[in-house]
Structure 1
């Protein structure tokens, strides 16, 4: 009798699995047939690279990075000169100066801190330059998606499969007036 109950439970589970499988596999076909979901893709990276604002932001960042590099280079050269001078003095006299060594270590630590601060400031500046560009692209993609009835837009580079008709990259470029 217990074997019969076990078979009955397994039969019910298989029937439910079959029923759910049929429901989930046929659901997308129904959704596509009545136009419930329209999915598109966009080459976000390509649009981002073609934006005139991106080129201006890159130029601004190159200038800021060059200026920062020059400032840090001057600080490093000054520290190296001080270290070489101290080492020459130490070699001549044969005595080390703990106070001067601590001062040089302090300058080295200060150089590291300044470099970290400048690196963080550059990253923040880059984000402040990039954010408005991304917002502009996002707004344009959203406007086209709403206008043309897309329920979802994915980045073209993360899709597994998609036909060319679902790609709205050129529509975004046209609306942004980018050639």
Structure 2
């Protein structure tokens, strides 16, 4: 719904700009509507902080995944031992072992949820200050170059961009990079030398997964 509203707003602005141009037989008046665009994900990926953000997220994710593997192995080993000896166990011991297995599985699932939430929080805490810095640069460029509106070209992974067609002269990305102290030519060369997956902004955290071992229910 939000995306639809943004696209409708963009269409209305573009239509207004076209109408203004159609009514002006000569050069556009000084107060004519001026629209610009950039790609925040691309700009973010070119910042000095991007690599450090990615490294910190990778370290935390790896630590969480290793702990998940350890806990999963512990659960699997104890479940295997339970299966081998269940027939010879008394009801009291069997019930106690089943309770232990259920407790381990609950801990594993809870750890997975907590680890994922922690990774999301870490991502936001690292990325938000950089995005705020980028926004200030966009604001400055928009003011200096008289853009009333600036759109983000990329709406996110697996989504349709907000702007499907736009004139290159309204692309303010190079100006934003310069405002951030980044050489646009070097940034473009570095991005071209990398794989497509590594030219985007620091990846948002992925889930750490969960155990597939099904423990017996307590009788």
Task: Give the whole-Å Cα distance in 1 for the aligned partners of 2:136 and 2:18.
Answer: 34
Question: Pick from 85, 107, 110: which aligns with 1:110?
Answer: 107
Instruction: Compute the TM-score of the two structures, normalised by the length of structure 2.
Output: 0.65
Q: Show the 5 A alignment for 1:27-176.
A: 27-29=19-21, 33-36=28-31, 37-91=33-87, 93=88, 97-157=94-154, 158-176=162-180
3-state DSSP of counterpart to 1:33: coil
The answer for the alignment partner of 1:10 in structure 2 is none
Query: Is the alpha carbon distance of 1:148 and 1:26 closer, same or farther for their aligned partners in structure 2, counting shifts above 3 Å?
Result: closer
Task: Give the whole-Å Cα distance in 2 for the aligned partners of 1:25 and 1:142.
Answer: 21
Unpaired runs of at least 5, structure 2:
1-15, 155-161, 184-219
3-state DSSP of counterpart to 2:164: coil
**Which has more helix, going by share of residues?**
1
Instruction: Compute the TM-score of the two structures, normalised by the length of structure 1.
Output: 0.78
**After the TM superposition, which segments of 4 or more aligned residues of structure 1 sit over 6 Å from their partners?**
none
Aligned residues: 155
1:44 positional shift: 1.8
Task: Give the whole-Å Cα distance in 1 for the aligned partners of 2:18 and 2:171.
Answer: 25
Task: Give the whole-Å Cα distance in 2 for the aligned partners of 1:94 and 1:79.
Answer: 19
Task: Give the whole-Å Cα distance in 2 for the aligned partners of 1:151 and 1:136.
Answer: 19
Unpaired runs of at least 5, structure 1:
1-23
Structure of greater Rg: 1
Task: Give the whole-Å Cα distance in 1 for the aligned partners of 2:46 and 2:18.
Answer: 41
1:116 positional shift: 0.6
